[in-house]
Amino acid sequence: MQKKRIGILTSGGDCPGLNAVIRGVVKAADKLHWEVIGFIDGFEGLLPPGDYRILDRASTSHIMSMGGTILGTTNKGHFVSKVGVGEKAVVAPEIVEKARSLVEKLRIEGLIVVGGDGSLTTAQQLFEAGFPIVGVPKTIDNDLEATAMTFGFDSAVASVVDALDRLQTTGTSHKRVMVLEVMGRHAGWIALYGGLAGGANVILVPEIPFHYDKLAEFIKHRDYAGKLSTLVVVAEGAKPEGGQEVYQEQSKVGESRLGGMGDVVAREITARTGKETRTCVLGHLQRGGAPTTLDRILGTRFGVMAVQLIEDNKFGQMVSYQNYLVLGVPIADAVNRLRHVTPDSQMVATARAVDICFGD
């Protein structure tokens, strides 16, 4: 008898923990005597003649500690279906049919799609077209509504904390304001968690519009109190009250690239306080490197559950972490529903209680 064959692909932005998912899938599938095919560079690997490789225990035995993904990934190509928050473009029917022909030719009985909101939007379309899809959520922003946590987030926060530890010493030495710009287009989870753990004095997130005058007043007050250095964490999507996001690159197709709010904040602080201010943009350092212990465990659990969902024929489901358990929820409940920082949440209240300013 031929072995049951399942596929897996990683799509969208990379992050630490992807290889832990792949390894978890391979090991769980091997227990069931299934064969696993890994498609290269996301959905693009589904196009005939196909770009894929057989994954087994030997080829995945040492990948859990590696950052990135051994399968490669892309957020461009024929299958891109996310064009902006709350919007989607439809993958062309001829592309869907080409992918279907390869999936059927390879006898894929379950296809695991590891990706964020945009990739899962594509996965949902393929499921509605009859593909045997199971989703695994992936975003360092931790902003998917249908899961309490995604792998990659803890590693991103760890990089923010490391940067703040380093900026603290140089900022104190020169009595400067140090501004750290971090990722977070629509949600400020990385800035909030990283800033709280890293001892930031100011945290600016997209969900809480801020005022430059209030930032200046806060920093001056710290100076009067003898605290001559201030750490400011700025999410890339943060904006002042009545203002707009700052873009590094505008795009007519897809989402424009944010970037530069850190520099704007630094200039305004200097203008209003006279304090010497420096900016550091963490950028893709948040995506790279080895995953933390938490992300290795969460990625493994997600991979194992994805195989379980296929075994139970629960297609159209996405792996979800809720109340310390890994379960399955409909992919449709996850896409286009972002989880935002709530301004009156306990986490924000905790940050305010330890004298962190949000500029409001």
Burial of 109 per CB tally in 10 Å (0-12, 13-18, 19+): middle
CA–CA dist 329, 97 (Å, integer): 26
296 HSE (CA, 13 A, CB side): 11
Q: Which one of 117, 141, 154, 295 is the catalytic residue?
A: 141
Of 72, 130, 142, the residue nearest 104 (C-alpha): 130
Query: Any catalytic annotation for residue 165?
Result: no
Instruction: Give catalytic residue positions.
Output: 141
